[in-house]
Amino acid sequence: MYNQGAVEGAANIESGSRVFVYEVVGLRQNQESDQTNYPIRKSGSVFIRVPYNRMNQEMRRITRLGGKIVSIQPISVLQPVNGQGAVDSANSEVSEPVTPVNANNEEIGKDAPVSTSSEAKGFAKPSKDKKGNTMTQAKAKHADVPVNTYRPNAPFIGKVISNEPLVKEGGIGIVQHIKFDLTGSNLNYVEGQSIGIIPPGIDKKGKPEKLRLYSIASTRHGDDVDDKTVSLCVRQLEYKDPASGETVYGVCSTYLTQIKTGDEVKITGPVGKEMLLPEDTDTNVIMLATGTGIAPMRAYLWRMFKDAERAANPEYQFNGFAWLLFGVPKTANILYQEELEEMQAKYPDNFRLTYAISREQQNPQGGRMYIQDRVAENADELWQLIKNEKTHTYICGLRGMEDGIDAALSAAAAKEGVNWSDYQKGMKKEGRWHVETY
């Protein structure tokens, strides 16, 4: 799903076997599902463990699913990929492709059929470390971030504290905010990471269900700011099977959206370092989200602006500038609306909130207003902000918005004779461009 992430998974391969990891981009479910109107998630990079005796078979399967193999690397069975696990090829034939960790979201799990600095007022100004690097570059690696504390073969058994609806009356679909009790665990995480959920039951091949990854929607201290909980924002996947016409519901998303208070759940992780916030509090943070892609953004904003969080983090007092552009179909689908608008009202100089409500607003061409249209509308201002070396941009949600975002920023950059593609590549190398889309 995302450009630099990997799915944590369990390799059902005998120890000692020769194992290879395929890095694959462009995976989809099948040709028929690509013809549906439902936004089926496509992958950025997915890392798949493949035993030697299945290599040719797996190559054919990936080609059939529209994927492209970027690289093949030999590894030991238990060796992690980029600090994380990889999906074993035995899991690759399930009806819902696995979602990598680099993006969390209409649902970030495996539930789909996986320069010149701006000096503008309020924007953070670039600073250099003693070696001449920007401070955001110097701190980009996050070497101390916890990863894979709990693995699929030994998950933590948490309990559901609450499961609350987020879509108001008249909205589309089912989206729930689910809070889990982590008491007794060593599951520490930071904003921008994901956890895995292993649903009960068996898949179509009679094997135990594999985990699905979901972006964490809470800060490291949890919604109760007591270091004992973790929260998710989950949308129930629902689509029409292109062959039968029957309604199909996502296995894990249905399990989670219908889960009851007190129920036990298998949790793995945390995983992911692609979407982490910079440690510097004097930064600019641009957030572009659709649907449940709001999950990591909520964690960022709580860390920045929630009173209880600020009190719990005396070493992190955000004084930069944050701008959230959030795309939803209807006003009733603005997830966490009260929270967002409360923070904006309290910190008007530090937090800007922009909605793109596709079924209620029109773009300049008279069509629906999507998030890429809002980016185009504000492209010049966003470009000035992006040029600041202390600006980080985070994109999470539907993959379809990326081309429109790139087109808008390309036009703004071209006014100054800058090639956006080249500039964006530089931002990625600096650790300032963060993407998780599906």
Q: Hey, which residues are catalytic here?
A: 214-215, 396, 436, 438
d(CA 299, CA 46): 25
* Residues forming beta bridges with residue 285, ordered by sequence position: 322, 392
196, 187 Cβ separation under 8 angstroms: no
Three-class DSSP category at 299: helix
DSSP code, position 350: T
The CA-CA-CA angle for residues 311, 314, 316, to 5°, reads 110
Side-chain-side CA neighbours of residue 104 (13 Å): 32
Q: Both tokens of residue 25?
A: 């981009």
Please state, as a whole number, how many other Cβ atoms lie within 10 Å of the Cβ of residue 79: 14
d(CA 108, CA 94): 17
Burial class of residue 151 in the structure, from the number of CB atoms within 10 Å of its CB (0-12 exposed, 13-18 middle, 19+ buried): middle
| For residue 270, cis peptide bond before it (omega within 30 degrees of 0) | yes
Q: Both tokens of residue 293?
A: 């892609």
182, 229 Cβ separation under 8 angstroms: yes
Q: Both tokens of residue 183?
A: 């008491």
* Residues forming beta bridges with residue 180, ordered by sequence position: 160, 230
